[in-house]
């Protein structure tokens, strides 16, 4: 009897010991150069305090995610006692989790829908950046330009071969985002209008996953946020206009939307400070550096 | 003496408490899932849900047929590839293999069973999908049922093998010796005596494998393409249905749960219940099959 | 049969078709085994070879650079995995083992007069058997709707460990029950006959002999938690930072692998993470086989 309790006790102590002991070396590494993490008091008091401390959580659009991460890093550099946790999920996750208080701030790459406004009336929208949507293909596709009508025909399944777009006679593989995606909603509204994206399209749950799928699937086509463009995929000119920042600013490339941060009610405390930082010059410089466009005010 | 009895009472209470709590948790999970799905069954209707071919939560259409078809076809594919291999493997390890090779194959199969499913998903994405893409068929992107079936087949192989092996080993030696003594070859003995005697164990193993295949989630989202479409053959050859992309019931839940609200969320719970019922049906039909045969 | 030839000495007098059939069948069996082994070698070698390029101490000791770059190491995900293992097994083990002890040692030994105990037993058996066959994503669905959403725990270690505990609870109950039932009835009778109370019998006689089996079940569930993705994908959130409290989100090794594979092009890093995962599983397997050997030695 003694033996068992001793063994069980030992096991419990071991487990507890592991849990307590392991994080130390890593936690030290984690705490960036700055002061030893004085555990922030878990009182998110609504009044803004002079020394910012505490935690905000952000979830939603994977288009906003990499930008939000950079913005958080910069904000944290100035306020070392602040923790900002950023998660993806998609724009609809952003709306829902902000509205239900699962997170402090929800991120979307589309406007809040009317249905969502009626369901969650206290959502407040903060526009933080402008982002274009590019039509991307696998780098080996020898096509450089496409028209809006062709985009619609390809994604609706009317055009099935690259031959009809001036390429070789190879079947087109359409890659799209899943339904909760703000980028998909925007694409649907801007390019597809009343046509549906063909059912057989490969669906990916994030911008990153879509980029991976297009860059590894020959003859693939998809749509991607400007912030994700890199050399692994080729962005097509739409109606002869290259998808660049200059062309969005110039008003010729029309496939762009606002990126938003949502709060439940007017933001207070840390959330407000961070949103103010994002809209400051320093914040907007980060926005442009990441391949997105600053908000015109 | 008093103290002993007190401790005894106390411990009985504690243990009873943990038993009650566990049972409550177990029941709560089932009840909660069923209750959450009620809204969807009521407002959409079971028939419309199970036979609807369009799943567009944005426009309020919740048909589960594409996902049911995806799950069933992927599982059938994995069974077609995985079960013969697994039973072959089990027979090999239990009856045929020389000792040193057995010592090699067995831990290998065990290890195969321990590898996390995402690792298989990754392997499928990076190796199997590009290989399948080489099959010439219009609309074949590599992502699809075949990739899913192959990945699943590897995943269910160890489960089936180890249980089938136990069943084969449990066949009394006398059966085999009797058969061999009558002049049957080893293979005749295996096919005519050992396999029939181990039948129930092998069926149970297969059922477990099917359950695992139906329940696999993340690896599926990595290789199956996630398209909401009832799979259809891409060419004249009906087998080319396996080149079609699809979506599984499990993948449907995983991809959409975090942004679902209201009816959509309830419909995802209904997806879970459908999955659960499918697994129950497979399990109980196997029980039924075994019982009616043994009579 | 005129020639009672032993099958082990292939004789030309055996009918060639039988021999041929056996040859073919055995060929198939060899090929099946070869296929299984080569599948293993393919997966492990493929992951291993590509992992070697990135697998070093730096990978293990630096934290991931951020969600989508694929840069950085896996340190925080290892720690998060440890946290989650400790929390889930910490929650589920006492509960599951306690429940199993009650079910086998008290309810299971009860006579016909104690109806409630027997009812509890049959309800528990049914529930546990059923849940053991339920796919993990259903636990994720449940955990998301209840812990993340309804109880407002958010995407957090707390939500994930509660959902994870629900996932492994049936596993632990079932395996512990089996281990307890394997203890010979005579042990219990002997102890009770010497005047020990029921609890003294359980703690002094039954549990020690069942301990290796119970520990095996815990190790099995640790393996389950380490390899699980679906449940934690919908409850843990996926932030690559180190969780600071129970309410922080996090990312386990398996989730990190998923995210690297899906969202980035850092396939090598994904393979490295996969290799670490496989190594952990190998170690856990080794622990189990050591335990079962130990168990055999004790039982003689």
pLDDT for residue B185: 87
Which are the contacts of B69, defined by CB distance < 8 A and separation ≥ 6? B230, B231, B246
Q: Using one digit for the tens of pLDDT, what is the confidence trace for C168-224?
A: 999 999 999 999 999 999 999 999 999 998 899 999 999 998 998 899 899 989 999
Task: Using a pLDDT cut of 90, give the percent of chain A over it.
Answer: 47
pLDDT for residue C119: 84
pLDDT for residue C263: 84
Task: Using a pLDDT cut of 90, give the percent of chain B over it.
Answer: 53
3-state helix, strand, coil in chain A (%, to 5): 40, 25, 35
Cα separation, A91 vs B275, whole angstroms: 27
Q: Does the residue C55 lie in any domain?
A: no
HEC letters along C45-106: HHHHHHHHCCCCHHHHHCCECCCCCCCECCHHHHHHHHHHHHHHHHHHHHHHHHHHHHHHHH
pLDDT of A26 > 70? The answer is: no
Instruction: Give me the phi and psi of B26, to 5 degrees please.
Output: -60, -45
- A80 close to C (CB below 8 A): no
Mean of pLDDT values over C65-77: 78
CA A219 to chain centre: 26
Q: In terms of DSSP bridges, do strands A173-177 and A202-204 run parallel, antiparallel, or are they unpaired?
A: parallel
Q: What angle do CA A295, A228, B218 make, to 5 degrees?
A: 125
* CATH number where C100 lies: 1.10.3720.10
Cα separation, B218 vs B255, whole angstroms: 9
Q: Using one digit for the tens of pLDDT, what is the confidence trace for C107-156?
A: 877 666 677 778 888 888 888 888 888 899 999 999 998 998 889 888 89
Q: Does the residue C171 lie in any domain?
A: yes
Is-contact C261 C274, C-beta < 8 A? no
Cα separation, B37 vs A143, whole angstroms: 47
**List of domains in chain A:** 54-129+258-294 (3.40.190.10), 132-250 (3.40.190.10)
Tally the residues of chain B.
295
Question: Do C248 and A88 count as a contact with CB atoms less than 8 A apart?
Answer: no
Q: In terms of DSSP bridges, do strands A173-177 and A105-108 run parallel, antiparallel, or are they unpaired?
A: unpaired
In chain C, which residue's Cα lies nearest the Cα of A21?
Answer: C79
Question: Do C63 and A26 count as a contact with CB atoms less than 8 A apart?
Answer: yes
In chain A, which residue's Cα lies nearest the Cα of C67?
Answer: A66
Q: Using one digit for the tens of pLDDT, what is the confidence trace for A131-163?
A: 999 999 999 999 999 999 999 999 999 999 999
Write out residues 193-252 of C within 8 Å (CB-CB) of B. Answer: 197-200, 202-203, 223, 226-230, 233-234
pLDDT for residue A224: 94
In this structure, what DSSP letter does residue C193 have? Answer: H
What is the phi-psi region of residue A166: left when phi exceeds 0, alpha when psi lies from -120 to 50, beta otherwise?
Answer: left
pLDDT for residue A133: 94
Choosing among C155, C255, C256, which should be mutated to test the A contact, i.e. which has the most A CBs within 10 A? C155
**Which range among A132-146, B97-111, C4-18, C89-103 shows the weakest confidence by mean pLDDT?**
C4-18
How far CA C24 is from CA of A203, C20, C27, C37, C48, in Å, comes to: 44, 6, 5, 20, 35
What is the phi-psi region of residue C72: left when phi exceeds 0, alpha when psi lies from -120 to 50, beta otherwise?
Answer: left
pLDDT of A21 > 50? The answer is: no
Q: How confident is the model at residue A8 (pLDDT cuts 50, 70, 90)?
A: very low
- A64 close to B (CB below 8 A): no
Q: How confident is the model at residue A291 (pLDDT cuts 50, 70, 90)?
A: confident
Q: Does the residue C22 lie in any domain?
A: no
In angstroms, the separation between the Cα of residue A164 and the nearest Cα of chain C is 31
pLDDT for residue B37: 93
pLDDT for residue C122: 86
Mean of pLDDT values over C70-94: 92
* CATH number where B254 lies: 1.10.3720.10
How far CA C231 is from CA of B22, C53, C148, C163, C166, in Å, comes to: 19, 30, 12, 7, 10
Q: What are the tokens at B76? A: 């059938």
Q: Using one digit for the tens of pLDDT, what is the confidence trace for C258-297?
A: 988 888 878 888 999 999 999 998 899 888 888 878 776 7
Q: What are the tokens at A195? A: 């046509």
Q: Does the residue C12 lie in any domain?
A: no
pTM score, two decimals?
Answer: 0.85
Cα separation, A167 vs A150, whole angstroms: 13
Which of A30, A88, A215 lies nearest to residue C265, judging by beta carbons? A215
Q: How confident is the model at residue A70 (pLDDT cuts 50, 70, 90)?
A: confident
Domain that holds residue C146: 75-299
Q: Using one digit for the tens of pLDDT, what is the confidence trace for C214-263?
A: 998 999 899 999 999 999 999 998 788 888 889 888 899 999 999 888 88
pLDDT for residue A15: 42
Q: How confident is the model at residue C164 (pLDDT cuts 50, 70, 90)?
A: very high
Domain that holds residue B226: 2-294
Q: Using one digit for the tens of pLDDT, what is the confidence trace for B151-190?
A: 999 999 999 999 999 999 999 989 999 999 998 888 889 9
Which of B139, B245, B259 lies nearest to residue A96, judging by beta carbons? B259
Q: Does the residue C112 lie in any domain?
A: yes
Strand partners, A204: A177
Q: Does the residue C266 lie in any domain?
A: yes
Q: Does the residue C181 lie in any domain?
A: yes
- A194 close to C (CB below 8 A): no
pLDDT for residue C1: 44
Domain count, chain C: 1
Q: Using one digit for the tens of pLDDT, what is the confidence trace for B197-226?
A: 998 889 989 998 999 999 999 999 999 999
Question: Do B226 and A89 count as a contact with CB atoms less than 8 A apart?
Answer: no
In chain C, which residue's Cα lies nearest the Cα of B17?
Answer: C99
Q: What angle do CA B169, B170, B172 make, to 5 degrees?
A: 105
**Number of CB pairs < 8 Å for A and B?**
68
Instruction: Give me the phi and psi of A90, to 5 degrees please.
Output: 115, 160
B-chain CB neighbours of A202 within 8 Å are: 141, 143, 225-227, 245
pLDDT for residue C77: 92
Q: How confident is the model at residue A108 (pLDDT cuts 50, 70, 90)?
A: very high
Q: In terms of DSSP bridges, do strands A173-177 and A220-225 run parallel, antiparallel, or are they unpaired?
A: parallel
pLDDT of A210 > 70? The answer is: yes
């Amino acid at each position: 009897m003694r033996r068992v309790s001793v063994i069980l006790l030992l096991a419990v102590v071991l487990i507890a010991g592991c849990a307590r002991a392991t994080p130390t070396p890593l936690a030290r590494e984690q705490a960036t150069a700055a002061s030893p993490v004085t555990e922030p008091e878990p009182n998110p008091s609504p009044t803004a305090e002079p020394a910012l401390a505490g935690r905000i959580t952000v979830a939603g659009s994977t288009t906003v995610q990499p930008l939000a991460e950079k913005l958080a890093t910069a904000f944290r550099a100035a306020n070392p006692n602040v923790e900002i946790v950023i998660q993806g999920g998609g724009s609809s996750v952003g709306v829902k989790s902000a509205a239900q208080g699962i997170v402090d701030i929800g991120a979307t790459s589309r406007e809040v829908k009317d249905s969502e406004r009626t369901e969650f009336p206290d959502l407040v929208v903060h526009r933080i950046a402008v982002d274009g949507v590019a039509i991307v293909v696998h780098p080996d596709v020898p096509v450089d330009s496409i028209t809006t009508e062709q985009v619609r025909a390809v994604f609706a399944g009317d055009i099935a071969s690259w031959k009809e777009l001036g390429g070789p006679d190879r079947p087109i593989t359409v890659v799209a985002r899943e339904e909760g995606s703000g980028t998909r909603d925007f694409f649907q509204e801007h390019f597809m209008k009343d046509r549906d994206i063909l059912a057989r399209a490969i669906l990916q749950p994030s911008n990153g996953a879509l980029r991976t799928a297009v860059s590894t699937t020959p003859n693939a086509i998809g749509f991607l946020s400007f912030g994700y463009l890199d050399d692994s995929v080729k962005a097509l000119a739409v109606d002869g206009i290259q998808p660049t920042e200059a062309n969005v600013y110039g008003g010729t490339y029309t496939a762009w939307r606002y990126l938003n941060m949502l709060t439940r009610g007017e933001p207070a405390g840390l959330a407000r400070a961070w949103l103010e930082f994002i809209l400051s010059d320093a914040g907007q410089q980060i926005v442009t550096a990441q391949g997105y466009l600053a908000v015109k005010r | 003496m008093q103290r002993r009895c007190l401790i005894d009472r106390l411990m009985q209470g504690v243990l009873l408490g943990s038993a009650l709590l566990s049972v409550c948790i177990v029941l709560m999970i089932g009840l909660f899932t069923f209750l959450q799905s009620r809204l969807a069954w009521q407002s959409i209707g079971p028939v419309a849900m199970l036979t609807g071919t369009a799943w567009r939560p944005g426009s309020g259409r919740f048909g589960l047929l594409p996902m049911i078809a995806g799950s069933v076809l992927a599982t059938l594919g994995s069974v077609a590839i995985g079960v013969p291999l697994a039973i072959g493997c089990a027979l090999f390890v239990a009856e045929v293999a020389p000792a040193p090779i057995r010592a090699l194959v067995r831990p290998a199969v065990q290890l195969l069973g321990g590898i996390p499913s995402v690792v298989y998903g990754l392997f499928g994405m990076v190796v199997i999908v590009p290989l399948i893409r080489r099959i010439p068929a219009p609309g074949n992107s590599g992502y699809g049922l075949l990739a899913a079936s192959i990945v699943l087949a590897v995943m269910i192989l160890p489960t089936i093998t180890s249980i089938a092996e136990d069943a084969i080993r449990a066949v009394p030696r006398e059966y085999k010796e009797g058969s061999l003594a009558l002049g049957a070859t080893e293979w005749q003995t295996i096919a005519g005596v050992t396999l029939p005697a181990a039948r129930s164990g092998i069926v149970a193993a297969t059922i477990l494998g099917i359950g695992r295949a139906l329940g696999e989630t993340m690896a599926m989202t990595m290789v199956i393409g996630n398209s909401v479409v009832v799979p259809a053959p891409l060419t004249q050859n009906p087998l080319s249905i396996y080149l079609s992309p699809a979506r599984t019931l499990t993948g449907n839940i995983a991809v959409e749960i975090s942004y679902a609200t209201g009816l959509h969320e309830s419909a995802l719970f209904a997806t879970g219940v459908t999955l659960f019922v499918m697994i129950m049906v497979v399990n109980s039909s196997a029980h039924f099959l075994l019982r009616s045969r043994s009579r | 049969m005129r020639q009672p030839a032993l099958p082990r000495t292939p004789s030309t007098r055996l009918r060639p078709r039988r021999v041929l059939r056996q040859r073919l069948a055995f060929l198939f069996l060899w090929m099946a085994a070869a296929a299984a082994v080569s599948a293993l070698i393919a997966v492990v070698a493929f992951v291993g070879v590509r992992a070697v390029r990135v697998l070093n101490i730096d990978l293990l000791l630096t934290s991931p650079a951020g969600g989508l770059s694929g840069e950085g190491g896996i340190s925080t995900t290892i720690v998060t995995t440890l946290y989650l293992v400790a929390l889930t097994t910490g929650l589920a083990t006492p509960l599951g083992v306690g429940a199993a002890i009650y079910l086998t040692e008290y309810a299971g030994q009860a006579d016909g007069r104690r109806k409630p105990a027997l009812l509890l037993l049959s309800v528990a058996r049914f529930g546990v058997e059923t849940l053991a066959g339920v796919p993990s994503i259903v636990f994720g669905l449940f955990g998301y709707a209840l812990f993340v959403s309804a109880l407002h725990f958010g995407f957090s270690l707390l939500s994930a460990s509660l959902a994870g505990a629900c996932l492994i609870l049936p596993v632990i109950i079932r395996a512990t029950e089996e281990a307890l039932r394997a203890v010979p009835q005579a042990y219990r009778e002997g102890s009770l006959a010497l005047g020990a109370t029921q609890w003294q019998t359980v703690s002094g006689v039954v549990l020690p002999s069942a301990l290796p089996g119970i520990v095996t079940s815990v190790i099995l569930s640790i393996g389950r938690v380490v390899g699980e993705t679906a449940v934690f994908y919908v409850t843990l959130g996926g932030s690559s930072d180190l969780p600071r409290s129970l309410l922080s989100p996090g990312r386990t090794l398996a989730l990190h692998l998923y995210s690297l594979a899906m969202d980035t092009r850092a396939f090598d890093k994904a393979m490295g993470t996969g290799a670490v995962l496989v190594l952990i599983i190998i170690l856990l397997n080794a622990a189990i086989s050591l335990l079962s050997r130990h168990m055999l030695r004790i039982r003689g």
